[in-house]
Structure 1
């Protein structure tokens, strides 16, 4: 079929030469590469461990197995790194049963990195007195952001994180709210060794951490 020309002399295609190009599908899942997972896990555990270090320096606690380990440091002469690893051991079995080897191995690595970084921070960042309010807000924000990064790379910090993720996937319960309920129990236990004002501020910090998770950890939005 011949081409036609307009008044300006330009040629118009007959349509066969201008077949529309289909746009790429919107709902495409692009998984993280192994190097991205490694960097993500290191970044997330570093931030979370730094937040826990702030809380420890101020004598505050938070929720989860990390908060439980912090709480135990007030009662036992054992380093946080050892307590954190020990508290998480039973949950590794649950992770292996419900989430498989890949998730469990990643979680074991994350717990190990948190324990390692908890020994590194005091050597390079010697903090003196840290105001309690600053430590509670800043520490829990850091832990929350660190957890978000860790979750996005299909891992967790063990313990309550595993339960929260499983309940979100199996029962549709938001991980942040599930974690918040369990964290409240840990913070209430801290009344046994801490004064009431410190416990109340720690409770506020735990709410901050879990609101960060509840508002940002949305698997239906982020699928990679």
Structure 2
């Protein structure tokens, strides 16, 4: 019995590790292909370690793959004790595959010679690749680790430091190479960031609804009966009146929004209603925990 349980646990751990590694490998190949076929071929800059590698490539014709690998080694040494070892190992895998893929995809021809189109579609492709890597709990190393290091010694957050590093890289690009390269890089980075969020969180098909009403029980019953959605009550009190109330909370699909408004209005036309976007919902009635 114990042996069977151990086998089951090992099997689950193996497939989880395999799926994460596969996601990182595929994501790294997609990002590398995007850089070779759109970024390099149109002389557009990038942020982070890859951005530094691209600048050095443009100036001295050094291979980007080798520069990325060399620059990440000291960063991994710095980050060994600052980030989780599992995350670091997955990141090492990502950087290794990314560096190799930069060489293997170097022969891909330019998909377009329009710099604006290149920056847009490079952002989409790189965003998809990076989103896959982040969903797989990995990264492509780089300045993320450096930002964590400096955030512990300065009053600045990781995000602020990353923004500052990228700003310096884009400024150097504009000074040492051409201002247009940095301008297109900003477009590329903006789109990539949005696509990364989209890949990680998915298209938002759900809304969270919070209702402050004098008829909480009745509204909750209608929601459960007509929409077949679970409802949660929160205890609350008005800051001005001091009156205790039950707050009705539930998550619904986008298509049920008009129905829940009708339910609430019919029961209490004076109710206070707050509706928010929900990027992802995991649990009974929605998506499962499998793969998370």
TM-score by length of 2: 0.56
Q: Can you list the C-alpha shifts for 1:18-63, whole angstroms capped at 9, x where unaligned?
A: xxxxxxxxxxxx9871221121011110111112112011111111
Name the structure 1 match of 2:72.
88
1:99 corresponds to which of 79, 83, 86: 83
Listed as ranges, the matches of 1:62-211 within 5 Å are 62-123=46-107, 125-127=108-110, 130-163=113-146, 179-211=162-194
Higher relative contact order (CA closer than 8 Å, sequence separation 6+): 1
Q: Distance in 2 between matches of 1:194 and 1:211?
A: 27
Whole-angstrom CA distance in 1 between matches of 2:158 and 2:82 = 18
Q: 1:99 and 1:74 mapped to 2: Cα distance?
A: 32
> Does the CA contact (< 8 Å) of 1:156 and 1:162 recur in 2?
no
Change (3 A) 1:56 1:41: same
| Separation in structure 1 between the aligned mates of residue 125 and residue 174 of structure 2, nearest angstrom | 24
Q: 1:102 to 1:42 in 2, by over 3 A?
A: same
Higher mean C-alpha deviation, range 112-121 or range 129-138: 129-138
More strand by share: 2
Question: Which has the higher mean CA deviation after the structures are superposed, 198-207 or 76-85?
Answer: 198-207
Aligned counterpart, 1:47: 30
Give 1:74 deviation, angstroms.
Answer: 1.1
Distance 1:206 1:178, change over 3 A: farther
**What are the ranges of 5 or more consecutive residues in structure 2 without an aligned counterpart?**
1-11, 202-278, 283-288
TM-align CA RMSD: 3.1
Q: Figure out how many residues of one structure are paired with residues of the other and give that number.
A: 189
Q: Deviations over 1:142-188 (max 9, x none)?
A: 22221111111121111123356787xxx9x686x764443222111
Partner of 1:13: none
